[in-house]
Amino acid sequence: MAELVETERHGHVLVIRMCREAKRNAVNRQLADELDAEFNRLDDDPDLWAGVLTGTPKVFSAGSDLTSIGDYVTERGGEYGLIRRNRAKPLIAAIEGMALGGGLELALACDLVVAARDARLGLPEVARGVVPTCAGLFRGPRALPVNLARELVLTGRPIAVERAYQAGFVNVVTEPGEAAAGALELAGQICENSPASVRASLAAMNTWLAADDELGWQVTGEALTTVTASEDHREGVQAFLEKRPPRWTGR
| Positions marked catalytic | 105, 125
Give the pLDDT score at 159: 98
Domain definitions of the chain by residue range: 5-175
Query: 222, exposed or middle or buried, with CB in 10 Å at 0-12, 13-18, 19+?
Result: exposed
At the fourth CATH level, which superfamily is domain 5-175? 2-enoyl-CoA Hydratase; Chain A, domain 1 (3.90.226.10)
pLDDT of res. 62: 96
Q: Specify whether the CB–CB gap between 53 and 188 falls below 8 A.
A: no
Per-residue pLDDT of the chain (251 residues; tens, 9 = 90+): 789 999 999 999 999 999 999 999 999 999 999 999 999 999 999 999 999 999 999 999 999 998 888 999 999 999 999 999 999 999 999 999 999 999 999 999 999 999 999 999 999 999 999 999 999 999 999 999 999 999 999 999 999 999 999 999 999 999 999 999 999 999 999 999 999 999 999 999 999 999 999 999 999 999 999 999 999 999 998 898 888 999 999 99
pLDDT of residue 66: 83
**What is d(CA 208, CA 186) in angstroms, rounded to the nearest whole number?**
23
Sequence letter at residue 23 = K
